[in-house]
Amino acid sequence: MTAFPSHRQNGAVLLVALVMLLVLTLLAVSSMRGVTLETRITANRAHSVQLVNVAEAGLREAEFRFYGPGNLADKLNANPVNCHPSNTLKVNGLNKPCLLEIVKESLQAFVEEPQEIKADFLAPGSSGSLIWMPYKGTDPANTTTPSGSHAAEWNSMLAGQSETAAVNAEYGMALEGQGTYFYLNNAKATPKEGQSGGVTYVQSSHANIYLGLNN
């Protein structure tokens, strides 16, 4: 029987142990990287959802401003007075929206690129209007903020009909404030001073049916 020197066996065992230790270390590092990446993805996703919720709060106020009777002229025509921070919610429900009139050349950009909206988008009927209204909530008794880190702002536009549309087909309906009218609402969540991050934009559309100025 051949006897092998013990020091050679000890060296082989040490080498195997070192290789195993290296493999385990690499596996641990890889696992930690995976956990870190997953944590970042989860955090980014949660942050994105939060920003969308803040912006959507702006949409809810924009839509809420059209609820209820009264002020039909303000719901069909742009009025710079309504696009001002002094246009607060009314306890009696007779609210006025911030309805912007956009020049024809900028309509597509207004819809598709809300981040590019600026003063020269406004038609003369909206001259002096605040382009983005600050969020006040939907409770007239309490002005709320959707987030401590981001501010919500919104605006609305009366969506025009195409030349072939027949939603309000009866002659004179529009002059009397009768028929179905469609609106486009923009809203955004903007970081407050001292906060980092980008701006999140969302849109919605809704339709209202009006019976006329005298109803």
Give 11-39 pLDDT, tens digit per residue: 677 777 787 888 788 777 777 777 676 77
Helices marked H in 96-197: 107-112
Question: What pLDDT is recorded for position 24?
Answer: 80
Query: Is the pLDDT assigned to residue 10 strictly greater than 80?
Result: no
Cβ–Cβ under 8 Å, residues 135 and 152 = yes
Q: Which tens digit of pLDDT belongs to each residue from 111-127? A: 999 999 999 999 999 99
Mean pLDDT for the chain? 83
* Mean per-residue pLDDT, 181-195: 91
| Least confidently predicted of 8-17, 60-69, 138-147 | 8-17
**Confidence band, pLDDT 50/70/90 cuts, at residue 164:** very low
Question: What pLDDT is recorded for position 19?
Answer: 78
Question: What pLDDT is recorded for position 196?
Answer: 77
% of the chain with per-residue pLDDT over 90: 43
Q: How far apart are CA 176 and CA 208, in angstroms?
A: 15
Q: How far apart are CA 82 and CA 60, in angstroms?
A: 17
- Sketch the domain layout of the chain as residue ranges: 42-211
- Higher confidence at residue 170 or residue 186? 186
Residue with the two structure tokens 């930690």:
32
Q: Which tens digit of pLDDT belongs to each residue from 192-210? A: 888 877 899 999 999 998 8
**Confidence band, pLDDT 50/70/90 cuts, at residue 132:** very high
Cβ–Cβ under 8 Å, residues 102 and 122 = yes
- Higher confidence at residue 215 or residue 108? 108
